Amino acid sequence: MTKVSFIFVAIALLSGQVLCQTDATYAVSTSAPGYKINGHVENTEAGLQIPLTFNSNGNKKTGVDIFGKTIKDLVVNVEYETEERLHVKISDKANKQYLVPDSPLGFERPKVKHYASSKDRNLDFQYTAKPFNFKVIRKNDKVAIFDTSNLPLVFEDQYLELSTKVPKDANIYGFGEVTAPFKRTTNITTIWARDNPDDFYRNIYGAHPYYQEVRDGKAHGALLMSSHGMDIITTEGRITYKVIGGVLDFYFFAPKSGTPNDLSIAYTDLIGKPMMPSHWMLGWHHCRYGYKDISSVETVIKKYKEANIPLQTAWVDIDYMDQTKDFTFDNIKFPRDKMIALGKQLHKHGQNYVVMVDPAISANSTYEPYVRGTEMDVWIKNADGTDFIGEVWPGFTTFPDWWHPNATKYWSKEIIDFVDLLGVDGLWVDMNEPASFCLGSCGTGKIDAGNQPYRWTYTEEEQAQNHTRWEKELIKMGNPPGEERNLLYPKYAINNGGGNLSEFTVATTALHYGDIPHYDIHNLYGHAEGYITRNALIKQNKKVRPFVLTRSSFVGSGKNVGHWTGDNHSFWSYLKNSLANVLNFQMFGVSYSGADVCGFNDNTTEELCTRWMEIGAFYPFARNHNNNAAVDQEPYLWESTAEASRIAINARYTLLPYFYTLFEESNRLGTGVWRPLIFEYPAYEELSANDVQTLVGSDILLSPVLDEGETIVKAQFPGGIWYDWYTHEATVDNQSKNKVKSVTLDAPLTHIPIHIRGGAIIPTKTPKYTVGETYATPYKLIIALDSKNQANGRLYIDDGESLNVNSCSDIDFTYKTGKLKASGKFDYKKAEKIGSITLIGKSTSKLESARIGKKSTKLTHSRNSVTVEGLSIDLNRSFDIEFK
């Protein structure tokens, strides 16, 4: 978390240094001659191997060394890994360029046993010889989903460029992490993990060089597997990659069905399936930075209860630490015994407990985690071999090098000892881009210096003086031995919002184990920490699913951690954009994700917080959180906010079995829990830019108010029947295929419009104060009939916490011709029974009774629905119910 909002503009004070490309060009390198095939194209077991050489066209100077040193000889490896995935890697023949490591700390490349045959695969690779260009063709409709024809290929040690043609006004989604509308328009997306409070259109915490396109109702995707900084330019008719190192390592995806959901399955088949949360993780969470003492936390917990606003998990930020040092306690404000007692009290009431841990370790010889880390030699190094020492909350700090052989052992001990002592249920890892408040190793030789003034507390003149001194020291330190690249100031300056690549982070010249410059590995840092922290928690308790929430992430992080979208602001624009941010992470395979509800920075208002609580209650990860400089924003402070919170959170808790079933599907298949309308209805072009509504799964539609002063929502509804969640009335009955109906919905201040898709069967519970109490109630079924009086749904059940599930039930419900049938797997014997069933639809007015076995039960009629109550149907075997 960036605890204080500030703007710092880095100015190049040394002539000739390029710090920031503030007006990065959208153009391609038109003078680049590209490459040509040089020799024999070999057919391999996987596909093709193509040798390339620089196409100088007799002019040895034109197009050479544009932003780096031209690499003359390349190899293209084409591998048909599956029927729906094609791997195309363009690399240097000498294999000197850095690759994302094939390990859990980078990207574990799948072991392909059998490559897809020409007959079965849905992707084809076509190429030209001189200049070398290629197309990736989706075979089932002959569409070129990636086409580099007549566009330059540049391959230098510090600059790689490749472009593809796309249709005019293409439906492009992805590339991030960035605060921007969901559909990508003409702009530059910079990928370089950065500690920044969610500036619009700027690079922030994570690195996900992946996109999806929906074209003519069919979806395909492309991933550039690279840990290097880059600009990705989306402009009319073209996507251009400009990367400052590594190789061009692409994966292309084209599911035969063409559906975006199947594309998500294909993508996560490669990068890993999202983690499976426990029941408690799906409850409501609350935190803030700036609790004055532990009694403040206890007061918040108490007032939530008094206001009858459900609270599952209480969080504590770095406030609890002794001088903000990890694994310590402030003996006055947050004494250890009271912190331990808080966890026990929460657990006694069926609630949970999470605290923060940062990666930066205070450089203090009396601080045991620093002493142990130094003895094990686990810190990131300077180019001269000394420890790299930056500045974070406790002052001068060292940074664990996750790639060091001792780092896992070191971090695991610190984590396990701390969790055993405190009894928390999970950890929140922050500042792991990694963040640092100075430029370079500003703490070298200053061990035991203690707290330091924060960078933003200096005057502008002092900041400039400090920056000049830091920069001179950083340049004087120089490159690592033998390194020929300009790691501090690459000639192509990506559009990094911080300017210099080393601003607010570890210097690009610092070294990781194996003498790998931070320049090459920067974007992997938070991803690696998440993996190691998760495994430490598993080692600490092998029975339950670990909880780790991270700020910085990379491709594949979702299998280990959840994510919140960082230090947003209490502005209406951030409320509105939060939907796009969460939808992006669903697409990136991080399904357990959410934004800080009511905003982190700046002061919220009653109306803003009320509206934010309404939609935030349905984020896959749902938490209210703000900072120490902002006004209090607990939802019980305003009556309208409290009432809206009770309504929305109770609706979420009612839907917990539905949410949990979606998370199991996400964990097993890779589909999102939240889904943009265009991904469920790709044939509806009118939905292509809709990022102000969202589907939970395929059956629940949320249409929140996102603008100040509004009490209506202009909502879009795809074809079919959509029923109001609260009244069960049919809001829309649209039987027109591929046509969207726009409806103006009433939405007074405490109301969020929720709709159920006709044709869905939704498993629910009776909402209680905690998740455990909610789950202890009988199941209910809501059967929302479509135009054919049919519906179907699914329910997944296990114990809600086991890391290795021994027994579970996976039940399919179908309703047709007046009969409800339950079939599937019924292995979980402790499941609560079904207590009631509600049918929604016009035809329900004719129903009078439900026959269960030999027993007939009368139905209770309401407007547009009927209910049968007082049931006690076991969920340990199949059953039929006939409605007459």
Assign a CATH topology to domain 676-884: Immunoglobulin-like (2.60.40)
Peptide bond into 405 cis (omega under 30): no
Asked whether residue 622 carries a pLDDT value surpassing 80, the answer given is yes
Asked whether residue 10 carries a pLDDT value surpassing 60, the answer given is no
Q: Where are the beta strands (DSSP E) in 413-503?
A: 426-429
Q: Which two tokens stand for residue 547?
A: 């909880």
In angstroms, the CA 646 to CA 701 distance is 19
In angstroms, the CA 560 to CA 581 distance is 19
State residue 6's pLDDT score.
32
Q: How many residues would you count in the chain?
A: 884
CB 288 within 8 A of CB 625: yes
Q: Which two tokens stand for residue 107?
A: 């990207």
CB 841 within 8 A of CB 788: no
In angstroms, the CA 279 to CA 334 distance is 29
Burial class (CB in 10 A: 0-12, 13-18, 19+), 607: middle
Report the percentage of the chain scoring pLDDT > 90.
Answer: 93
State residue 20's pLDDT score.
38
State residue 16's pLDDT score.
33
- Residues labelled catalytic: 430, 433, 567
Asked whether residue 26 carries a pLDDT value surpassing 90, the answer given is no
DSSP assignment of 712-735 equals EEEEEE-SEEEEETTT--EEEEE-
Residue 717's closest CA among 737, 732, 696?
Answer: 732
- For 106-124, the pLDDT digits (tens) are 999 999 999 999 999 999 9
* Alpha-carbon distance values, 96 to 74, 246, 483, 690 (Å): 11, 9, 12, 44
Residue whose tokens read 């069919």 = 218
What strands lie across the sheet with 674-675, from one edge to the other? 674-675, 694-696, 700-702, 754-757, 720-724, 730-734
Average pLDDT in the chain: 95
pTM, 2 dp: 0.96
Asked whether residue 285 carries a pLDDT value surpassing 50, the answer given is yes
State residue 18's pLDDT score.
35
Burial class (CB in 10 A: 0-12, 13-18, 19+), 82: buried
Q: Where are the beta strands (DSSP E) in 83-224?
A: 85-92, 123-128, 133-138, 143-147, 154-156, 159-165, 171-178, 187-191, 203-215, 218-224
Asked whether residue 242 carries a pLDDT value surpassing 90, the answer given is yes
State residue 25's pLDDT score.
67
Phi/psi of residue 755, nearest 5 degrees? -130, 145
Asked whether residue 2 carries a pLDDT value surpassing 60, the answer given is no
Q: Within a 10 A sphere around the Cβ of 833, how many other Cβ atoms?
A: 12
User: Beta 187-191 vs 123-128: how paired, if at all?
Assistant: unpaired
State residue 63's pLDDT score.
76
CB 831 within 8 A of CB 809: yes
Provide the β-strand partners of residue 362: 397
For the chain, report the end-to-end CA distance as a whole number of angstroms: 58
User: Beta 849-852 vs 834-840: how paired, if at all?
Assistant: unpaired
**Mean pLDDT on 393-410:** 98
- For 688-730, the pLDDT digits (tens) are 999 999 999 999 999 999 999 999 999 999 999 999 999 999 9
**Mean pLDDT on 729-750:** 93
In angstroms, the CA 394 to CA 622 distance is 29
Structural domain boundaries of the chain?
Answer: 676-884
State residue 794's pLDDT score.
98
**Mean pLDDT on 191-198:** 95
CB 799 within 8 A of CB 830: yes
In angstroms, the CA 590 to CA 620 distance is 10
Mention every residue, 6+ apart, whose C-beta is less than 8 A from residue 195.
Answer: 2, 205, 431, 433, 435, 504, 505
Residue 290's closest CA among 575, 550, 627?
Answer: 627
**Mean pLDDT on 828-854:** 95
- For 442-494, the pLDDT digits (tens) are 999 999 998 999 999 999 999 999 999 999 999 999 999 999 999 999 999 99
pLDDT band at 673 (very low <50, low <70, confident <90, very high): very high
- For 294-332, the pLDDT digits (tens) are 999 999 999 999 999 999 999 999 999 999 999 999 999
> Which helix (H) or strand (E) segment is 314 a member of?
strand 313-316
- For 52-103, the pLDDT digits (tens) are 999 987 666 677 899 999 999 999 999 999 999 999 999 999 999 999 999 9
Mention every residue, 6+ apart, whose C-beta is less than 8 A from residue 266.
Answer: 82, 84, 85, 221, 253, 254, 255
